[in-house]
Structure 1
Amino acid sequence: MTAAPAQQAIPIPAVQQALLTWFDQSGRSLPWRAGAEGARDPYRVWVAEILLQQTQVARGLVYYERFLTAFPSVEALAEAPIDAVLKAWEGCGYYARARNLHRAAGVIVADGMPSTYAGWLALPGVGPYTAAAVSSLAFNEGRAVNDGNVRRVLARLYSERLPTEPWVQARADALLDPGRPGAFNEAVMDLGATICTPKAPRCEVCPLAAWCGARASGQPTAFPAPKVRAAVREVQAVAVLIGNEHSAVLERRDGALLGGLMGLPSEIREPDETVAQALARLCTRVDAKPGVLLGTVTHNMTHRRIVLDVYSAKSAHPKTPVQDAALSRLDHKVLGLLESQRGSLFEVQDSVEGIYSQRVETA
C-alpha cells in the first residue's frame, strides 16, 4: 500500500467555504429541512434524526412520512397509546427508538421543547449525536455532529486510518462553521452520503479534493480502515401460528430488541434442546396442541441471525387481527409463509396432525 504523503495543515476557512458552497448547490432536499436555517420544526428534525440512526435515507423517507402522518405534532405523539406508536414504527427496527420517542414526547409536552444541546441530551433516547443534530439544525447552536458519514469524510480529509471517536469529534469541532453550524453539519453528512461514499468515492467532483490526504495517497477507500465487526451469533428458536395470516394468537414480547411488540408465541431453543423439546415446552406454556411444520424462517439482525422453525397449532386462546398489531419483520416473514395458502390452516393440519404429533413425541 502506498503511504499517504505528509499533509499540510488543512486551511479551515477555505474548507468551510468550499463545502458550504457545494451544499448550497447540491445538498439533498429532504422534508425535515423545510424552513430557514435555525428556524426549522424541531419535532420533525428530531423524528428524522432518530429514524435515520439505523435506516438509510431512501428507505427512511417512507417511514418518516408514515410516522408524521400518524403523529403530526409532539402533542399527538405524546397523547397516542404506545401500541399505536409501535404500529407506526413497524418495519423500522430497533423499536427502543420508538418507545423512547414516545417517552420523550411526554416530557416535552410537560416541560416544553428544548432549544439547546443540554436540553435535548436530557431526554430519553437522545445521545450526543442526536442532541448536536437537533440543536444545530433546528436552533443553529454551534455543535458539531459525529456519525458514520462524518467519520469517513474527516478520516479521508486528514488521511487517518484509525480515527477514534474523540479524534473525529475534535476535528469536527475545529471545522464547524460558526456562522452556519446546522448547514455545515448537513453538508458534511451529505458529502459522505453522496460523494465520499464507502466503496466508490467520486473524488473528481468532491469540493474537498484539493486538500484530501486520502485522495493524495491514491487509495481513498483505505481510509478509514474497516471496523472489526462482532461475530454474528445464530439463535435457534421455535414459534407456533395459531390461526392464519389474517387473525392469530399473539403475545407481547419483552427484551431490548423487540420489547413492546406483539408477535407469534415463540421460544429460543436451549443449547442442548431439540426442536421437538422446544416446541413441546412452548406449546405447554401457551396451552396449545402442535401440528404441521409450516417452514423455517431466517432473519438477520445486527449481531444475530435468527433461525425460526414455525409450526401450526391449535388453542382456545382468542385471536387478534394481524393488521391491528405492531409486528416485527420477523413475524411478517412468518405470516408470509401462508401467502400461497387459502382457507383454514386446520384443514391441512387435521390430515397430518397425527404424524406430526408422533414426530414431536419421538424426536
Structure 2
Amino acid sequence: MCLAEIPLSVWRRRGHDFVFRGHRIRYWAAGQGEPLLLIHGFPTASWDWHYLWQPLARRYRVIACDMLGFGDSAKPRDHVYSLIEQADLQQALLGHLEVSQPVHILAHDYGDSVAQELLARHAEGRFDMGSCAFLNGGLFPEAYRPCRVQKMLLGRLGWVVGRLFDRNSLDHDFSRTFGPDTRPSESELDDFWSLISAGRGHHMLYRLINYLPERVELRDRWVQAMQRNQVPMRFINGAADPISGRHMVERYRELIPNPDTILLPDVGRYPQTEAPARVLSCYEAFRASAADFRPPIVVPLAIQNSKPANHPFVLSSTIQNGSY
C-alpha cells in the first residue's frame, strides 16, 4: 500500500495558530472520533506525520502542533526549552480544542519524552490518556547512542555548531540515521531544512538539545509510569536507527512488563516517513488489540536495573568542556 504525501506547501496552508504563554504555536486538526495526538521529534516538525495524516483522520480526530522552537511555531531566542513545558503545551492545545475524551498518543523521538511525561501525569490523575504508541526515541537514556553533532551541540561551543549547521549538514548527519534504502530524497531534505531553518531555528538547536540531560533527570519518574502498565503501549521501532534502534527495543523488553514491541528491519530513525504504510498497519493493529486492554490491579513501582555508572548522559567533563 502506497500512502499519498501532503506537500509541505499544502500542509502549511492548512495550519492554524493559537497562543501559548505569549508564543504563537502552529497546529493542525482533522477528522472525527477519538482524539489522537501526534507528537513530532527533534529537530523536525509535525509535517513528519504527513503520510499518515489522511489515513488516520478517516478514523480519528487527529491533532498535532509544531512544538515551541520547532517548525513554523515561535522560536524565542533566550528561552529555556523544556520537555515539561512541551507537555504543558500539548495539554494547552487540547484545552484550546476543547478535547474532553481520553487522548490517544502516537509519538516519535523527542515526542516520546513528551509522551512519557503525559503518561506520568496520567498516573497522577492530571491527564487522561487512552493509549500510547512510541516510534524510535530515547525512552531509556542509558541505551541512547547520541550522534556526533548532538554531542557537539551540548558542548560549550554548541551555539557555534548551531550557527554552522546548514542544509549540507542535514544531508550528512541527519540522513545517516535513516535506513540504507529509505533515506530522504533531496526534495524531502529541502523540506525538512525549510522547517528547521524557519525563523533561524537552526540557531536554537543548542538550546533545544538540552532535552538530553533533562531525560536523565526525569528518567526514573517516566520509567516508573511506564512500568505501571495503566494504558496500552506499543513500541514500533526502525531497527536500523543507530541512535535508538534495535538496542532500545531490547532495553524496553528488559524493563517493561508484557512488552508490546514491533521491529521494522532496514528502517531507520523516521519510520513514519520511511515506511508509513507499515507503521499505519502496526498502529491500527495496536488500536484494535487495545480495545481489550484491562490495567492490572497491582503493579510493582520499583525501577528495574537502575542506571549504570557509565550512563551516556550523566554528562562527562569531556562533553561539558566541548572536547570531542
TM-score, structure 1 as length reference: 0.24
Q: Greater Rg, structure 1 or structure 2?
A: 1
Q: Which structure would you say has the larger RCO, counting Cα contacts within 8 Å and 6 or more residues apart?
A: 2
- TM-score w.r.t. the length of structure 2 is 0.26
